[in-house]
Structure 1
Amino acid sequence: MDTRKAGNGLSPRIWRPVSDVLAALMTLTAICWALSVNRYFGLGFYPQQFFAMMLVFVLPVAYLTLPARPGTERTVVPFHDVVLAVLSMVAFGFIAVRYPDLVLMIFSRPLEVWLPGLIAIVLTLEALRRATGWALVIIISVFILYALFGDVFPGRLQGRPQNWQLLSGYMAFDSNGILGLPMSVASTVVVAFILFGVLLNLTGGSHFFTDAAMIGMGRYRGGSMKIAVLASGLFGSISGSAVANVVGTGVVTIPMIKRDGYPAHKAGAIEAVASTGGQLMPPVMGASAFLMAEFLAVPYSSIVLAALLPALLYYVALFIQADLEAAKMGIRAIPKDQIPPRRTVAVGAHFVLAFAVLIYLLFWKSYQPERAALWSAVVLIGTSFLIGYKGTRPSLRTILSSLAQTGHGVVEILLISAASGIVIGVLNVTGLSFNLTYALVQVGGGSAIVLLALSAIVCIILGMGLPTLGVYVLLAALVAPALIQVGIEPIAAHLYVLYFGMMSMITPPIALAAFAAASIAKAPAMATGWAAMRFGWSAYVIPVLFVFSPTLILIGAPFEIALAIVTAIIGVWLVSAALAGYFSQRLSPVKRGLFALFGLLALVPAGMFEGAVYSDVIGVLGGVALMVLEIRRPRRTGEVQA
């Protein structure tokens, strides 16, 4: 704990209100830009000026709220952090104001370009270290060193060395640097959706989804596990962070699962997998969906449609395993007195209206995502004032507090986005992106299968310890181009690296979501991680399938897509039963092997390779025959029915 006295810095009575005001201004600035308020006053700005203004608020908030030593509690803000906060505000304020005059002077390297640029880079990386730890900072620092000394690298990785003054100015002023594409997405779309999520939480929406999940699943065997899957999936699709979702919903669901009789490590594992799936489930996908749309230059709706079926298969597999685990362990439904009354929960149906408006504006009216999210937030506020939930309505003060909460909530994402711009800048200015793509293709020998295996390993390693958005930006810049180079569909390539990057959240030895769930469940961390890998098995298999057969990302003829959906669901069911060791009753090792074999054959899409349709037929017919035989087999006593 920080034990400094108030005389050695700013007391909480000063820095907390200041940071709240800056955070609220950050959110208001993003809202004004998304709604083009400046145009109503006849004011025109470069987008980079807006991004710089966002960082004028972001970095001071980071230095006021985040201690230099992560993990310690901040009470008093030392004066050196105040100096860093003011210096960052001045540096980015200068960049925002002088941008139109100085952007064309980058290559002449005047003092007024490279000095604020150097300050901006250093302070951004330090703020990022405080927010996320050393991992991402070290990776970005390696890229900067490469930009400065690229000529010393051998072979295809050799790059053009850059003058440090030129590099400083380029990173701070060019649209391929700090003020580039990741900041464009994070400063508009992500802020709008996080605001929507904060309002959903403040108005009782998160409680409504948990209550609705209880009503829907509580009366079935293993209801607590199914509630965790449903509630975490719904909330995770908006929250945008696997670990935050574990902490937010896990404090309710994990104790509930343990009370039902599940082992602690399985309780933590199922919550970790359900929460991680939120990064793969539209609409937010950890902010990656919006950035993916920008990278690929396609409508956001195209990303949502492509990501939807794989995400649903992920949750189908998890739900089936939760059901079969409950049957195997003899765990019954939740007691009726713990399930909230339907009439009470039905009042919260107005929360669904906000989602309906969001979907309508996105897909039928083709609104920009940030505008759709803001209008949905307005609908949410209106219905919450009029109807409320469980007899309470939010006050005006509560609604206004959402601005500051949103600002604080997006600080980490905006810092990651700004720092990710440095990686993109280095790739562009040095030619490293082309060299890396060429090197990966060469190592893979031009074989898509070898390259996919290599890419999966790289994705999981790079993803360990990194936040969602940082993982995706790195992988989209480093790995996805190599996959596209060997003929893989661009959307499939980007979803592939996103899936395997996200799997680092539940893959030991550094499984952040699983370890966070283990701490809540009071279970061994590694045991929770290994159990999470088993529950999340589909995310290791499905990306390989949609890479080779895009029917699983809804690309192809309607009949082929429908056939792929049906066979994939059967395949997921069979493999899940094999992993659980249970179908209608316990399975012998031989039958588990047969369930797994037929399941994998059924999962293979008919268009994956020549003759794949036959593997589909064998898998489906063999699997259905096994299911029928198991259902008709005499049942042992004491096993719980659905």
Structure 2
Amino acid sequence: MEENKFQALSQEEQQELIEKYDPEAGTRKLTGLTAKIAFFGLLAFSIFQIYTAAFKPLMAQLQRSVHLGFGLSLIFLLFPASKKLRKKGGVAWYDAILAVLSVGVGAYWPLMMEDLVMRVGRLTTLDFAVGIIAILLVLEATRRTVGLPITIIAAIFMVYALYGPYMPGFLAHRGLTVERLVQTMFFTTEGILGTPLGVSSTFIFVFLLFGAFLIKTGVGEYFNDLAVLIAGKRIGGPAKVAIFSSALQGTISGSSVANVVTSGAFTIPMMKRLGYKKEFAGAVEASASTGGQLMPPIMGAAAFLMVEFIGGGITYWDIAKAAAIPAVLYFAGIWIMTHFEAKRLGLRGLKDDELPNRAEVLKKLYLLIPIVSIIALLMTDISVMRGALWSILITVAVSAIRKETRIGFRGFIDALIDGARTALAVAAATAAAGIIVGVVTKTGLGLKMANGLIDLAAGMTSSPKGVLILTLFFTMVASLILGMGSPTTANYVITSTIAAPAIILLGVPDLSAHLFVFYFGIIADITPPVALAAFAAAGVSGGEPIRTGVISSKLAIAAFIIPYVFVLSPEMLMIDTTWYGTAWVVFTSMCGMIAIGAGMIGYWYRKVMAIERVFAVIAGLLLIYPERISDITGLVLFGILFVLQVFIKKEDKNKPAASEQTLSN
């Protein structure tokens, strides 16, 4: 199959669409001397990170401040102040000044280390000025690379820190002076130079670099071909191709929007050509691409932050293993509903001449070796950073097997540049997230919010389980709102700091609580009204954006249900359980997803009548809810519905291919 046989968008159109919905991609086109400065700056950034990862990271303040200096200075060279300035090749004079100031901010800790340690807690006038400049640079860099939402949130939190005594009710606190706030933000490891930036300057960077090297091998296109070969001939094949390829793409992509556009440029035209409506086609790609952030082993880099935030000896592998079953159920739910929709519309799979050459695809199976290797390495005692570095070397070695995948010297340099460029937005977002964490730490806001949510729930019910479920609901709403318009790493930091403590106070295991807020922060990308991934998919499909977002949310219904399940029943996360307990939860949950899928689409083995749809959804919810009585009741309803569908099938001469019924009906 030719590489772009189904592709409707050119590379330029894809990039334009990514830039429209993903601020991280909106770099200016540099020329001349500034282009060379940016090139060598990005190269030096990667070399610094590789050196410290391979040998030994510097002291926390030094490692993080140098990382921040590289990130901020390169952001002001590459990211213009507004979208209108992107096409201009030169760097504005004020951006040059901001870049120089960023270098100074990054160098301040290494140059003044001894003095800063000696006068800990006391700021000089120069310290204060540098701290103020650092805060302002971080906020502006975040606005340019990530967008306004997280920038505004960080600014509001600082205002909250300063004006604590004037806040209403339980939000009131003693308040911080400006000097104390500046000290916390830049001269401790509780603010900008805190844990989020620390993870960015160590684990996340090398994994982004690993992803850049994988992309250079052409593994993204290979995922598409492999997905078409495996799922293309099945009923409604192209939709299943989108699900399968997006799950694989999630192992190397850190952006739902970028995943939607690059993968969707290939899969969405296939789905439309087969007969799926354009909104449904866009919704399949949006929901699947967003789910890529939930797919181990990389999970949009948030898993690295989770290790640091949870602590207590939890490892990266513990998190990846716990997230595996929920991720499988998430994609299974989308797969089930696209299958039923294809049956309802009478859609076929791809024809033989539309499939890639099987022999050629199988010859490139070696491209999966680096992904297998990173999983295997993470299961050992080797450090996460060393595992990523070894995987980069394995990727380079594996790429040499065939000429078309080989990473030469130029490709090697390009991967270093691309990895560093991808890390810029993460550096800015984690620095801004550090501001939020610092304020929460100093004011006790996390505990205040947690107690506030629990009190709100307790005021509505006296049942302990009712309080937990209501608290989960309020936390879900907060996570969806906080996650709108924020990248994966930043939205996890925000939701885990503000929302997770409420669940943990009710006795929920830390890992369950953190995965709960992580899930809802991620699916904000497909939840209207701010559904960036769905809007990007609508840009590819030509569909109506809000409707695409609504259908995306329906297809991703598992993501709205499964987090409740693994909080109420940690067996799904393989916590304190037997293989039998885990297998039972998976079995009942999968049956539940089939029932819910049939109820929402309105088709199973035949058309599902209105009353059957109601009972199908009820059966699905009962099966997913982790109680033996509900499981048995749900299985009985499931069995009855199955019998009605298979053995009392009504004769229907008018097959569903001509049906005009839409998903929303």
Q: TM-score range by the shorter chain?
A: over 0.9
The residue number in structure 2 matching 1:306 is 322
**Counterpart secondary structure, 2:250:** helix
The residue number in structure 2 matching 1:12 is 31
1:378: how far off?
0.9
The residue number in structure 1 matching 2:520 is 500
The residue number in structure 2 matching 1:345 is 361
Pairing of 1:51-450 with structure 2 (within 5 A): 51-70=64-83, 72-74=85-87, 75-297=89-311, 298-363=314-379, 365-388=380-403, 391-445=404-458, 447-450=467-470
Deviation per residue, 1:155-196 (Å, 9 max, x gap): 321122222123213211211111111112112221111112
1:545: how far off?
1.3
The residue number in structure 2 matching 1:627 is 642
The residue number in structure 2 matching 1:4 is none
**Counterpart secondary structure, 1:67:** coil
The residue number in structure 2 matching 1:578 is 599
The residue number in structure 1 matching 2:52 is 33
Provide the aligned C-alpha RMSD in A. Answer: 1.9
Using a 3 Å threshold, how does the CA distance of structure 1 residues 106 and 69 change in structure 2: closer, same or farther?
farther
- Alignment of 1:462 onto 2:482: yes
1:420: how far off?
0.8
The residue number in structure 2 matching 1:5 is none
Deviation per residue, 1:87-127 (Å, 9 max, x gap): 11112111233234304534222123222111111111111
The residue number in structure 2 matching 1:42 is none
CA–CA separation in structure 1 for the residues paired with 2:119 and 2:492:
32
Query: What fraction of aligned residue pairs are identical, expressed as a percent?
Result: 35
CA–CA separation in structure 2 for the residues paired with 1:595 and 1:466:
35
**Counterpart secondary structure, 2:270:** helix
**Counterpart secondary structure, 1:160:** coil
CA–CA separation in structure 1 for the residues paired with 2:301 and 2:398:
26
1:10: how far off?
11
Using a 3 Å threshold, how does the CA distance of structure 1 residues 201 and 635 change in structure 2: closer, same or farther?
farther
Moved over 3 A (4+): 634-640
CA–CA separation in structure 1 for the residues paired with 2:111 and 2:646:
72
Q: Is the 8 A contact 1:235 1:245 kept in 2?
A: yes
1:631: how far off?
2.3
Once the two structures are overlaid, the 10-residue window that deviates more, 410-419 or 101-110, is: 101-110
Q: Is the 8 A contact 1:283 1:304 kept in 2?
A: yes
Corresponding letter in the other structure for 2:397:
G
Corresponding letter in the other structure for 1:575:
I
Deviation per residue, 1:323-358 (Å, 9 max, x gap): 111111111111222211111011211122112211
1:442: how far off?
2.1
1:435: how far off?
2.4
Once the two structures are overlaid, the 10-residue window that deviates more, 612-621 or 296-305, is: 612-621
CA–CA separation in structure 1 for the residues paired with 2:30 and 2:416:
23
Corresponding letter in the other structure for 1:502:
I
Corresponding letter in the other structure for 2:329:
L
Using a 3 Å threshold, how does the CA distance of structure 1 residues 36 and 160 change in structure 2: closer, same or farther?
farther
- Alignment of 1:602 onto 2:602: no
CA–CA separation in structure 2 for the residues paired with 1:127 and 1:96:
22
Deviation per residue, 1:388-409 (Å, 9 max, x gap): 5xx4533220121100101111
Q: Is the 8 A contact 1:31 1:188 kept in 2?
A: no
**Counterpart secondary structure, 2:119:** helix
Corresponding letter in the other structure for 1:159:
H
TM-score after normalising by structure 2: 0.90
**Counterpart secondary structure, 2:252:** helix
1:634: how far off?
5.0
CA–CA separation in structure 1 for the residues paired with 2:554 and 2:447:
37
User: Which of residues 540, 544, 562 is equivalent to 1:520?
Assistant: 540
Q: Is the 8 A contact 2:163 2:175 kept in 1?
A: yes
Corresponding letter in the other structure for 1:587:
V
The residue number in structure 2 matching 1:21 is 40
- Alignment of 1:50 onto 2:63: yes
CA–CA separation in structure 2 for the residues paired with 1:82 and 1:62:
11
